[in-house]
């Protein structure tokens, strides 16, 4: 989180618009943090998008686009891999952004599988709020229920490998599991 993934997606999509390419951006309908419809970065850059509840909807809605953007891809199921392949086979440029690790530092599918089939991968890093090094982890700051907890600065902060506290994240899982028993 906080590495500029959505900001980079918006930048690339705007460049496609300047090139007069037809674009379409999709986001998971469950991500309503900043807007129900638009993709919005932490620096408040925004572009109109289409919220979808399932990756399979993207295939139906993207056929007229030349460039397809997909934001917060970690919130889609593994069908997104098939969707990306089909769009690419149809000659579309597909730009996907999302977290490759969850708050426990575990691979966050479908992103690792999409990275494996992509022609190009750009891995962005945030800045660790503890020491200032490049950060590749999302430290959850609040107790949450399960793997997906939609949030921003109130819920997560970027941490480097050294400052990431897996014990803290693991305790939160144990606390959440205990409360639901």
C-beta atoms surrounding 106 within 10 Å: 12
Catalytic residue set: 72
DSSP state letter for 32: -
| ∠ CA 14-17-18, rounded to 5° | 90
Task: Write phi, then psi, for 114 (nearest 5 degrees).
Answer: -70, -40
Mention every residue, 6+ apart, whose C-beta is less than 8 A from residue 146: 176
Distances (CA, A) of 146 to 140, 161, 168, 172: 12, 22, 14, 9
Report residue 101 as tokens.
Answer: 């690790």
């Amino acid at each position: 989180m906080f590495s500029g993934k959505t900001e980079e997606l918006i930048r690339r999509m705007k460049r496609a618009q300047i090139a007069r390419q037809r674009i379409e951006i999709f986001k998971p309908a469950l991500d309503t943090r900043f807007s129900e419809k638009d993709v919005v970065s932490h620096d408040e850059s925004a572009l109109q998008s289409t919220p979808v509840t399932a990756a399979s909807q993207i295939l139906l809605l993207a056929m007229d686009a030349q460039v397809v953007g997909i934001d917060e891809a970690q919130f889609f199921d593994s069908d997104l891999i098939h969707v990306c392949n089909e769009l690419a086979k149809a000659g579309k440029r597909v730009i996907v952004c999302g977290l490759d690790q969850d708050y426990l530092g575990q691979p966050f599918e479908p992103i690792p599988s999409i990275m494996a089939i992509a022609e190009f991968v750009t891995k962005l890093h945030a800045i660790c709020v503890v020491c200032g090094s490049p950060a590749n982890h999302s430290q959850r700051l609040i107790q949450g229920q399960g793997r997906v907890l939609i949030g921003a600065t109130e819920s997560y902060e970027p941490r480097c490998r050294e400052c990431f506290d897996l014990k803290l994240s693991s305790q939160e899982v144990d606390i959440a599991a205990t409360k639901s028993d």
